[in-house]
Structure 1
Amino acid sequence: MALKALVVASLLSAPAAALAQAPTVSPLGREPLPDPAQEARAAALMRELRCLTCQNQSIAESDAPQAEAMRAVVRERIRAGAAPEEVRAELIDRYGDWVTFRPPARPDTWALWAMPVVALLVGALVARRLFR
């Protein structure tokens, strides 16, 4: 009985122990830039970049440590004088086109852009056959 209680207690305390070690992130990930114009450019860019952990949230919305680190990178680069397009290009080079909510239209991404149209056409054809 004591062994069962010990196993249950250790299983219940494991998540708390894992959460006890918070990742270290630059304060720039949390604090806005002192210049309002720079912060506005950084915030607009953060809304366009996808969180790599949450996948369907922007890094501006996400609380994931990865998103916080990406926010810090965006703010550091904007503070250093980089244009938002330069920062976006750097992050795309690092993480791929998937990191942005607006992937570029290139020959290798045409299927991505065409898929909604193809899905609508297939759906219309299926609906037409079903309701005949």
Structure 2
Amino acid sequence: MSRGNKNKKPNADKERRRKEWIRKANEHFPNEEAAADFGVTKADLSAASERSLGERSFKRRALADIRSAGVSLGWIALLFAVASWFVWPVLLGGTAAVLGFVAFSQGSRGLGIMAMVLGLIAVTIYLILIPLYFLTV
């Protein structure tokens, strides 16, 4: 019989602590149930799903803007690369290579690679051919 009393005492102590916790919670939140603060309603779930949909569409629009900026930058870099074959090869070729790299990193892979290659070829040819020209003259 003494065993039964020992087993019941922790349960009674646990119940007493639970009631004390509920009483303290009711003192802090006299007009509400304590569980209502932790509960999730259907309205909360629908609002959260709308927010996540809004965030996803915002991210999608931001990625589309970055890609379109990359395409525009890729065309500008390609323009610099082509111009570097005719005027100021070191300045325009280096600029084309840098802009091509930025366009490549923003998603315009083809234009970025073409601009980098054409710009670096123009710089390399200029730095090799000009000294050879002056050595032979």
In the superposition, the TM-score normalised over structure 2's length comes to 0.29
Bigger share in helix: 2
Larger radius of gyration: 2
In the superposition, the TM-score normalised over structure 1's length comes to 0.30
